[in-house]
Amino acid sequence: MAERSSEEEENYNLEEHQLPIVYHSEYNVSAFGIEHLHPFDSSKWKRVIAHLKDMNLITDATTVEPSLPTFEELTRVHDRKYLKSVRNPLKAAQIVEIPLVGCLPPCVIESKLLHPLRLQAGGSVLAANLALKHGWAINVGGGFHHASYSDGGGFCFYADITMAICDLFDKKAITNAIVVDVDAHQGNGHARDFANNENVFVFDVFNPYVYPHDREARQFINKAVHVNSHTTDTSYISELRKQLTQCLENRQNLTPPGFDFILYNAGTDCLFGDPLGAMNLSPQCIISRDEVVFKLAREKGIPICMLTSGGYQKNNAHLIAKSIENLHSKNLINLGIN
């Protein structure tokens, strides 16, 4: 796949048969079976799409395909030395936490690992722009919230959350953004990137007892909501609704008032049984969680872009699809089904 020219004019209008759901068949990671040595489900994204098709919610023609970000576009949010370093097998192995990856040649690292994840990062930028145009969008991928300007970790190479928001700022399309991160792990990457940006508010619901234990980055979170293995479905939804509502309403008193964009990092690793999230929420709680966030976005009239982020069980893909189905059934998104 050729990289998109940075001079290329973007068009965020959709064809009649398309929805603001971003996906590419090359999102999925496969490297001779080595990917199975990590709990991350490296084919989650295509299985989300398969479930959505089985539910008759989308067709092959429904989704919008992203383009690869150019190297120059990546350097807007990443250090050049870092971007070159990730092609080193040892650095890549460190980020994906699979030592055997260090034995792969750089060409395989590029084609089997970096290419799919870079494409997903481009998908997040596309989805953010589609959300502004259409009110909502979902990238069936992305959410690499441990990646920052000069480093990566936890299977996150490219800071797609930073990329997406900065792209909108560069175009002067938004004034104030809020990152709503409900992945079980602390979103330390974008928190570091936006540490000195008063126009980006970081709202993070996470388990402080699991990776990445980045205490320095915690000071850059504007509103942290700590949860753990003892958090019940009821208390989780209640606290999420309460705290997020307060953050959205408090911003109305500032100048300029309100947020004009929500980047929703909707990781599903807080599901019961996840080996890395160490939480015990039910599938229905995850579905309700997404509904709460989308409903608040609708009530406040704020465009919302959802990324799927973490989730380390085989049933995560079906859960994501069921949540999207629920959002449609509650008229929080429109999948154009008669």
Identify the residue with better confidence: 41 or 282: 282
Q: What is the dihedral of CA 139, 141, 143, 149, to 10 degrees?
A: -100
In the predicted structure, residue 338 carries a pLDDT above the cut 60: no
Q: Which residues make Cβ contacts (< 8 Å) with residue 264, sequence separation at least 6? A: 180, 182, 293, 294, 297, 304, 305, 306, 307
Single pTM value for the model: 0.94
- Answer yes or no: 185 catalytic: no
266-291 pLDDT tens trace = 999 999 999 999 999 999 999 999 99
In the predicted structure, residue 121 carries a pLDDT above the cut 90: yes
Q: Which residues make Cβ contacts (< 8 Å) with residue 163, sequence separation at least 6? A: 69, 73, 74, 76, 77, 121, 124, 125
| Residue 143 main-chain phi, psi, to 5 deg | 85, 40
pLDDT at 230: 97
d(C-alpha 338, C-alpha 198), whole Å: 43
pLDDT at 67: 96
> And the tokens for 84?
């070159």
| Cβ–Cβ under 8 Å, residues 124 and 161 | yes
Q: Which residues make Cβ contacts (< 8 Å) with residue 108, sequence separation at least 6? A: 31
d(C-alpha 38, C-alpha 185), whole Å: 16
Q: What is the dihedral of CA 74, 76, 81, 84, to 10 degrees?
A: 10
In the predicted structure, residue 8 carries a pLDDT above the cut 90: no
Q: Which residues make Cβ contacts (< 8 Å) with residue 230, sequence separation at least 6? A: 280
Choose the catalytic residue: 146, 190, 213, 318: 146
Confidence of residue 254 (pLDDT cuts 50, 70, 90): low
Q: Which residues make Cβ contacts (< 8 Å) with residue 324, sequence separation at least 6? A: 52, 57, 138, 333
Q: Which of 158, 135, 130 is nearest to 62 (CA)?
A: 130
d(C-alpha 317, C-alpha 309), whole Å: 11
207-227 mean pLDDT: 97
Peptide bond into 256 cis (omega under 30): yes
Beta strand extents in 173-323 (DSSP E only): 177-181, 200-206, 223-226, 261-265, 304-307
pLDDT at 37: 55
Q: What's the helix, strand, coil split of the chain in %, to 5?
A: 45, 10, 45
Confidence of residue 253 (pLDDT cuts 50, 70, 90): low
Helix (H, G, I), strand (E, B) or coil at 129: helix
